[in-house]
Amino acid sequence: MSVLVVYESMFGNTEAIAEAIAEGVRREGAHHPPGTEVAVVPVAEAPSRLPDDVTMLLIGGPTHAFSMSRESTRADAVRQGATGTPRIGIREWIDASEPRADLPVHTFDTRVHVRMMPGSAAKQAAIALRRKGFELAKRGESFWVGGKDGPLSHDEIVRARAWGAFVAEALTPA
């Protein structure tokens, strides 16, 4: 059994959130079936066909232009100093994936905390995943950054750990 945390990150903020979410999932690990692994994988390395032993997928990325990134917005980020890989984002992973209708999936994103700033990669990813055939995909949390390159807002790492622990509770056998 394993939980997969797949992330896209251009400036490193979503990566840090993904690691914190995984810590939270592991913290709930005492309740998991013994031997449950929690792996954090950059989206470019995530297999399009998830191994059968994956029991939950958590997937997230940065919000770009009110939605998931595209090649052009990732190129923009690189022009602005990002060091992440522009080749593939979660949008492209979802497009190419082999869906599993029975797999619990939760999305997450990072966004700039500005009043009246609409748009969330997590929201659009959940819609795209369901359309693709991941019927159980749910929009999860947004985590806030101060600007394009961060930093993460105060206590977002703590909140990400708590959210990881919360979603992992669903794995607990009844």
Ligand X SMILES: Cc1cc2nc3c(=O)[nH]c(=O)nc-3n(C[C@H](O)[C@H](O)[C@H](O)COP(=O)(O)O)c2cc1C
In the complex, the residues that contact ligand X under the rule CB under 6 A are: 9-14, 62-66, 73, 76-77, 80, 110-112, 117, 119, 145, 148, 150
| One-letter-per-residue 3-state SS of 162-174 | HHHHHHHHHHCCC
Beta carbon nearer to ligand X, 12 or 104: 12
Cα–Cα distance for residue pair 10/110, rounded to 1 Å: 11
Beta carbon nearer to ligand X, 2 or 85: 85
User: Looking at the chain, which runs of residues are DSSP E strands?
Assistant: 2-7, 37-42, 54-62, 105-112, 137-145
Cα–Cα distance for residue pair 22/17, rounded to 1 Å: 9
Beta carbon nearer to ligand X, 97 or 110: 110
Beta carbon nearer to ligand X, 117 or 170: 117
CB 56 within 8 A of CB 6: no
Least distance between ligand X and beta carbon 97 (Å): 20
Least distance between ligand X and beta carbon 63 (Å): 4
Least distance between ligand X and beta carbon 81 (Å): 10
